[in-house]
A and B are shown apart, each in its own frame.
Chain A
Amino acid sequence: MQSAVSFKVAFLRYLQAGLDQVAGVPSANASVMERKRAIKLTADMAMALARGGRRWSRALMSNLCKQGTSENLPRTKFPLTIFSRKKILRRRFRQRPSPPRTAAAASLLARRMMKKRTEVLKRLVPGGNSMDDFSLLLDEALDYVLSLRAQADLLRRLTYAIEHSKCRWVRIYRVKPLSPW
């Protein structure tokens, strides 16, 4: 529990610092998508920094840095592509062939399914391409799921807090404090 709490504290700290940097200067950025992307970048970076000693966190940090420096100023790709790429895995398996009759074919099918799923997992978990060990991949996936869950929870609470607070209406040209006091 202590490590979860310290992760949350560190995450909030980094998130605060990042949002202060990112959102400190008022600007006339009209697009919600760009703002969303910026917020997501800082949130992911905060998550990776808060959980510093893991392979996926270092990979995520390097990915974000590359992404931030290369794509930032030219306008970003439309984020719907991100949504459309992540199909639910099961849909891809709708066209499965008939269940195999022989035992050898069954084992072959099982192996192919496992291989496909490990590939998908490698793509999802940052830094997964370099993990040849399946147990290591599972390890990193476990940790990644935990911190993703904590990140989602913290962001949700933050948005609820801001939405329900008095300072919801911020004027564009005035720097308001992020938290309502």
Chain B
Amino acid sequence: MDPGRSSGDRSGNSGEYGHEIAESLRFQEEIQSLMTENESGAENGSSFTALLGLPPNQAMELLHDSEIGDSPAVSPPGGCPIWRLLVDDPKGLAGFPLGTVPTFPSNTDLVERAARLSVFAAEDSPQTSSSKVVKTEPAVSDSNPDSSPAREPQLRPPKRKEPEKSKAKGSAKRSKSSLEKSVPKPTEEKLPYVHVRARRGQATDSHSLAERARREKINARMKLLQELVPGCSKISGTALVLDEIINHVQSLQRQVEFLSMRLAAVNPRIDFSGLDSFLSAVRRAPVASGVGGGAGPEQSSSPWDDAQRQQHQIWQVDFPPAPPLWWRGDAEQHHELAEPRRSLLRYGSVNSVCLRSNQLKQEL
């Protein structure tokens, strides 16, 4: 184990630190194995795709079904290993007193599908003949710097809308929805436009169409948020729902603060010099955003430069070279301690990048 060796070469508490490294690696491997075990056993169906496949009330029931009692993992007196407590089986999600499962829209496609499906779920009457194809905006915005004109496609020049308008007028006369016709559409290709059909008896000019598309998207997202935040489903009105969401976010942030205070009270051995090196090393390490794509641990510099360049493009924050220089100047006293730690973090982050890229490949 390289980190074990490299840290073992250090002077001063080298033996114990080497033990720590080995144990942390073992810990990670055990977590990983536990995760793969649990994944195969997870039948909870509480993923976002499952949520999306159901109308909202059934989805809510599903979320409530997976609610577990509040007692967190009190370890047996022998000292149950942490991994069992921390990343419990999906049934033992006891740490979620709020009763919902932490699921993720792993792709933005899922969110888009949620939007589409929730729009469809809302149309229970066959009278409404509107359908919508939401383009993969979040995906575009994630990977494209010009994401802010995300609403531009909706306000495309009128010549695109004109054939739409005539179609819209035609469909407005008919009462049957063109749901079935439009459903295969999203699966064909990534459409850069938002295709909106006018509902029966509503205005069909481009501005109101665009507005309606935007409003429907917002309503879909609000519905998702309502399902997520507990107690929001019975509130009507966007402003009050936003109120609840804000309260929820604030309470979660406060929880994290209190928990970190508890953690600090438990371990009386935190040091700040390590924090600087950690932050700057993290800044130089790649972000595990699927950039890995098979980046092996051999070449440690080029995937990171690519990742950093990509990050620079996406998010125009300048990671100035000044702070690393500052760090290097400042941490000379901790030089010998910081160096192998940096290598450890690099090893750890490369490992996680590989792991993440593999997982993302599996997911995709």
Determine the residue in chain B with the shortest Cβ distance to A153.
Answer: B95
Chain B residues contacting A88 (CB-CB under 8 Å) are 247, 250
Determine the residue in chain A with the shortest Cβ distance to B151.
Answer: A133
Is B2 interfacial (CB 8 A cutoff)? no
Is B297 interfacial (CB 8 A cutoff)? no
Contact with A along B218-244 (1 / 0, CB 8 A): 100110110011000000001100110
Chain B residues contacting A64 (CB-CB under 8 Å) are 279
Residues 115 to 163 of chain A near chain B (Cβ within 8 Å) = 117-118, 120-121, 124-125, 132-136, 138-139, 141-163
Chain A residues contacting B311 (CB-CB under 8 Å) are 58
Contact with A along B236-269 (1 / 0, CB 8 A): 0011001101111110111111011111111111
The answer to whether A90 and B243 have CB atoms under 8 Å apart is yes
Dominant secondary structure of chain A at its interface with chain B:
helix
The answer to whether B278 and A22 have CB atoms under 8 Å apart is yes
The answer to whether A22 and B275 have CB atoms under 8 Å apart is yes
Instruction: Using known A-B contacts A52-B288, A65-B283, A114-B238, determine if residue A5 contacts B263 with beta carbons closer than 8 Å.
Output: no
The answer to whether B256 and A151 have CB atoms under 8 Å apart is yes
The answer to whether B363 and A39 have CB atoms under 8 Å apart is no
Determine the residue in chain B with the shortest Cβ distance to A16.
Answer: B24
Chain B residues contacting A178 (CB-CB under 8 Å) are 20, 24, 267
Chain A residues contacting B32 (CB-CB under 8 Å) are 9
The answer to whether A1 and B363 have CB atoms under 8 Å apart is no
Chain B residues contacting A17 (CB-CB under 8 Å) are 24, 278, 344-345, 348-349
The answer to whether A12 and B272 have CB atoms under 8 Å apart is no
The answer to whether A23 and B252 have CB atoms under 8 Å apart is no
Instruction: Using known A-B contacts A58-B311, A133-B148, A170-B269, determine if residue A149 contacts B98 with beta carbons closer than 8 Å.
Output: yes
A52 to chain B, nearest CB (A): 4
The answer to whether A16 and B90 have CB atoms under 8 Å apart is no
The answer to whether A175 and B260 have CB atoms under 8 Å apart is no
The answer to whether A43 and B246 have CB atoms under 8 Å apart is no
Partner of A170, one of B39, B246, B267, B356: B267
The answer to whether B247 and A36 have CB atoms under 8 Å apart is no
Cα-based distance from A65 to B282 in the complex (angstroms): 9
B246 to chain A, nearest CB (A): 5
Contact with A along B42-68 (1 / 0, CB 8 A): 101011000000000000000000000
Is B122 interfacial (CB 8 A cutoff)? no
The answer to whether B287 and A124 have CB atoms under 8 Å apart is no
Chain A residues contacting B250 (CB-CB under 8 Å) are 86, 88-89, 124
Q: Most chain-A Cβ atoms within 10 A of its Cβ — which of B23, B111, B138, B282? A: B282
Instruction: Using known A-B contacts A58-B315, A161-B82, determine if residue A6 contacts B35 with beta carbons closer than 8 Å.
Output: yes
The answer to whether A154 and B86 have CB atoms under 8 Å apart is yes
One of B73-81, B183-191, B197-205 at the interface? B73-81
Contact with B along A19-37 (1 / 0, CB 8 A): 0111111110100101110
The answer to whether B345 and A23 have CB atoms under 8 Å apart is no
The answer to whether B239 and A155 have CB atoms under 8 Å apart is no
The answer to whether A138 and B218 have CB atoms under 8 Å apart is yes
Cα-based distance from A153 to B95 in the complex (angstroms): 5
Is A100 interfacial (CB 8 A cutoff)? no
The answer to whether A12 and B86 have CB atoms under 8 Å apart is yes
Chain A residues contacting B266 (CB-CB under 8 Å) are 159, 162-163, 168
Instruction: Using known A-B contacts A82-B257, A142-B221, determine if residue A149 contacts B214 with beta carbons closer than 8 Å.
Output: no
Chain A residues contacting B23 (CB-CB under 8 Å) are 177, 179, 181
Chain A residues contacting B166 (CB-CB under 8 Å) are none
B144 to chain A, nearest CB (A): 12
Cα-based distance from A114 to B218 in the complex (angstroms): 13
The answer to whether A62 and B317 have CB atoms under 8 Å apart is yes
The answer to whether B96 and A153 have CB atoms under 8 Å apart is yes
Is A174 interfacial (CB 8 A cutoff)? yes
Cα-based distance from A174 to B268 in the complex (angstroms): 11
Q: Which 10 A-B pairs have the closest CB atoms?
A: A3-B106, A52-B289, A53-B289, A35-B264, A138-B221, A153-B95, A52-B287, A68-B279, A27-B271, A40-B260
- Using CB atoms and an 8 Å cutoff, list the residues of chain B in contact with chain A: 13, 16-17, 19-21, 23-24, 27-28, 31-32, 35, 38-39, 42, 44, 46-47, 72-75, 79-83, 85-88, 90, 93, 95-96, 98, 100-106, 108, 111, 137-138, 141-142, 147-148, 150-151, 214, 217-218, 221-222, 224-225, 228-229, 238-239, 242-243, 245-250, 252-257, 259-283, 287-290, 311, 314-315, 317, 319, 323, 326-327, 330, 334, 337, 341, 344-345, 348-349, 351-352, 355-356, 359, 362-363
A-B contact pairs, 9 of them (CB 8 A): A6-B355, A8-B87, A12-B86, A21-B277, A45-B282, A58-B317, A86-B254, A90-B243, A157-B88
User: A29-B271, A52-B356, A159-B262 given. 4 additional CB < 8 A pairs?
Assistant: A16-B28, A22-B278, A124-B249, A145-B228
